Amino acid sequence: MNASASFQLCEPAASAHSPDVKVQFRDVYKTYGRIEVVHGVSFDINEGDFISLVGPSGCGKTTMMNMLAGFTEPDRGEVLLEGNRVTGPGPDRGVMFQDYGVFPWLTVEQNIRFGLDLRVKRGMSKEEKRETVEKYIALMRLGDFRDAWPKNLSGGMRQRLALARAYAANPHFLLMDEPFGALDAQTRSAMHDLLLGIMQSERKTALLITHSVEEAIYLSNRILVISARPSRVVEEIRVPFSDQRDRELLDTHEFIEMRRHLRDLVMQQYAQQQELR
């Protein structure tokens, strides 16, 4: 049970739930068939955190996110959301899936509206819905394609659509699985700043899975380096930069140092994952 104790980052499992701690992974294990995917992972996510998971492909990052999203249960250990065990998905946790999950039978605009239509039925005003839809169509620069079918969108546009849909539903938690992978460099940095803006203005808590070390540092206040399969938390890195960030940060000495350190750590794990194959 305690094999992974050296990697535990949070307080012991018995600790009381403090109001700032929103999510707790407590000694979580998961095995698919004969493949152990997650091995004794523990960490907390605090209110307002932007936390990134970086690690080799196939190590189990999506699996961990799915546990928080409520699609997968741990075999052992538990995932707590505001002190309660996660039992299923909910609109408080918006998910941007690795393969987008854009609804092919709905147009761009209808996709973005999906979550909002549901909220209108639960009391949101039509006016607010309309404004929100327009806001995200504009932010994601999808205006020319609002009536297009997803089959006619490029990969990057589909990704932006999935982001728009997730943001528009206004969840407290944003769980994003490699959300910017299909975007060109310019669009990606625009999306980064947009996301930072949303984090600031709407007080959200985010979990990001990414393969980009730079992206992780630029967006997060904490980064978890995940090991080769089975997933363990190898190291937690606290990003010391302020919440107000812009592109100039990328050229600072501290940023470059941190990037080098993180890249080394991640490379080691990627190399081990290679050996696994």
Residues found near another protein in the complex (CB under 8 A)? 69-71, 88-91, 93-95, 97, 99, 101, 103-106, 114-115, 118-119, 122, 149-151, 165-166, 169, 171
In angstroms, what is the minimal distance from the CB of 118 to another protein? 5
d(CA 196, CA 95): 17
Closest approach, Cβ 180 to another protein, in A, equals 18
CB nearer to ligand ATP: pick between 74 and 115 = 74
Nearer to another protein, 58 or 70 (CB): 70
The residue count for binding ligand ATP (CB under 6 A) is 11
Q: Is 61 in the site for ligand ATP (CB under 6 A)?
A: yes
- By a kind-dependent CB cut-off of 5 to 8 A, residue 3 interacts, out of another protein, Mg ion, ligand ATP, none, with none
- Which tokens hold the place of 18? 């403090």
Q: Is 249 exposed, middle or buried (0-12, 13-18, 19+ CB in 10 A)?
A: middle
Nearer to another protein by Cβ, of 202 and 264: the residue is: 202
Alpha helices in 155-252 (DSSP H): 155-168, 185-202, 213-219
Over 195-219, what HEC string results? HHHHHHHHCCEEEEECCCHHHHHHH
Binding site for ligand ATP (CB under 6 A): 32, 35, 37, 57-63, 98
